[in-house]
Structure 1
Amino acid sequence: MPTYEGLVVVLGANGGTGREVVARLAHHGVATRAVARSERKLADIVKPGTETAVADVRDVESLENALRGARAVINCIGTRVGFANTGKGVADFFGFGEDGADAVDNRGTVNVLNAMKRVGAEHLVIVTSMLINQPLNPFSLMMKPFGDILTMKDKAEKAVRASGLRYTIVRPGGLTNQPPFQKGIKVAPADALSSGSISRADVAEVCAQALWTPAAYGKTLEIVADDTAPVSDWGAFFASVPPDAIPAQATAAGV
């Protein structure tokens, strides 16, 4: 069982992937603070020993309060569009409203980075998406009218890489609700995969292992399930992907 010294804040802890991350961190005995936008969203995920906080990535002050004392942050927040975001008007249905991809995925990530620096958090693990730089992929084309989500996630990733913080970017394929460790995990560098799915529980385990495995630092990982055995050597798993090449002139506005 790995040991991890310090508090980990999970943003979007009420979502499907966020819940799994909280569960995997608890399994590993990691001190965790689960964060969502309301107490109601946290009510059914609170477990003994898990701290909670209310914050919104669009509100830097609330983020700073929620992140205070954290060593690391796992950001599982992502925009919901279409029928997953019903009842909030046409703009949010199409991902261009106040809950849209630019506000949440893009500018929200910049807010997270700024808040982390102000409170002294040192490592961000962020869950984004496969297909970010594959504009001709049918799924990418389908999502373009919905807040241009993949472009906004690309902007968020660039801000993370330019932030100067330790980071790991995790890009899963299509997400399922299968139990963890039923299959192996295929891992590849950014923009190498174009299809596949993976369980949220396995994504959560990748995020957790990235906290204490140095071979995961400074990398963008694309992951999907495959028919190999479940991962047993996480160091080798992360080491199979090269570090990101970050241009010397890279900058992130507001970071």
Structure 2
Amino acid sequence: MTRIAVVGGHGAVARLLHPLLVAAGHTPVALVRREEQADAVAALGAEARMLDIEAADAATFAAAFEGCEAVVFAAGGGPDGNTERKRTVDLEGSTKSIEGARLAGIRRFVQVSAMGVDEPVGDDTSPVWQAYVEAKRDADAALRASDLDWTVVRPGGLTDDEPTGLVEVGATVSRGSIPRADVAAVVAACIDDPSTVGAQFELVSGDVPVGEAIAAAPHPA
């Protein structure tokens, strides 16, 4: 049984991920900010631990990861219009998770990012969206530059539709959407597939079963 730390453990993707990790024989360790969130994730089979992503330093992240063998970064500042939180959550939350994993001696790290964040933003882009894109871009770059066994998952537009179990994966794919439940399934599959170490890929709904698609996930040259 492997403990998997999930940063942003009460987020929409994370709440769908926890039961999948349990079904695969793992113990999800959900890092949450509030006590009521702890009760919610415990009901999904996760072990809840308290962590304020914005206030904590890397050493505190490392302490929260104690006993875990892998980290999933699934946190996000959300569509709240708050430009600053894109930096403190989406970027600094990731970089502190990376350093926390290193301090805790954890090698495996899977990051949920977003499609197209390496592309330049247009002049008419809102400041909030620009901050979000830059935060995700820089967080991915920081993870790739680390010596961790990383995987970067970059989904398209997220929906609350029922999962299909069918996806399209590629270094780049055409713009599209994907149910959060299918993103969670891909993350769970990556955790248990060492061939995805060093892989970064975009992800939308498609016609290939998750396991088959992940096995063919592209790696950097």
TM, length-normalised to structure 2 = 0.90
The more displaced of 41-50 and 26-35 is 41-50
Pick from 203, 216, 220: which aligns with 1:240?
216
Cα distance change of structure 1 residues 130 and 143 upon mapping to structure 2, 3 Å threshold: farther
Aligned to 2:28: 32
Pick from 61, 65, 81: which aligns with 1:63?
61
Q: Quote the RMSD (CA, aligned, Å).
A: 2.1
Q: How does 1:5-20 map to 2 (within 5 A)?
A: 5-20=1-16
Pick from 176, 199, 202: which aligns with 1:196?
176
Aligned to 1:94: 82
Cα distance change of structure 1 residues 130 and 141 upon mapping to structure 2, 3 Å threshold: farther
Runs of 4+ in 1 over 3 A off after TM superposition: 140-147
Aligned to 1:90: none
**1:47-70 CA distances to partner (integer Å, 9 max, x unpaired)?**
375311011233124322210111
Distance of 1:65 and 1:79 partners within structure 2: 23
Distance of 2:9 and 2:91 partners within structure 1: 19
The more displaced of 141-150 and 13-22 is 141-150
Letter in 1 for 2:170: A
Aligned to 2:192: 212
Question: What is the aligned residue count?
Answer: 219
Q: Structure 1: which 5+ residue stretches go unaligned?
A: 86-92, 246-255
**1:57-93 CA distances to partner (integer Å, 9 max, x unpaired)?**
3312432221011100111101123xxx3xxxxxxx3
Q: How does 1:158-173 map to 2 (within 5 A)?
A: 158-173=141-156
Helix, strand or coil at the partner of 1:43: helix
**1:8-32 CA distances to partner (integer Å, 9 max, x unpaired)?**
1111121110101112112222122
Larger Rg: 1
Distance of 2:208 and 2:91 partners within structure 1: 36
Q: Structure 2: which 5+ residue stretches go unaligned?
A: none
Distance of 1:229 and 1:154 partners within structure 2: 27
Cα distance change of structure 1 residues 145 and 10 upon mapping to structure 2, 3 Å threshold: closer
Cα distance change of structure 1 residues 143 and 204 upon mapping to structure 2, 3 Å threshold: farther
Task: Give 1:225 shift.
Answer: 0.3
- Report percent identity of matched pairs: 28
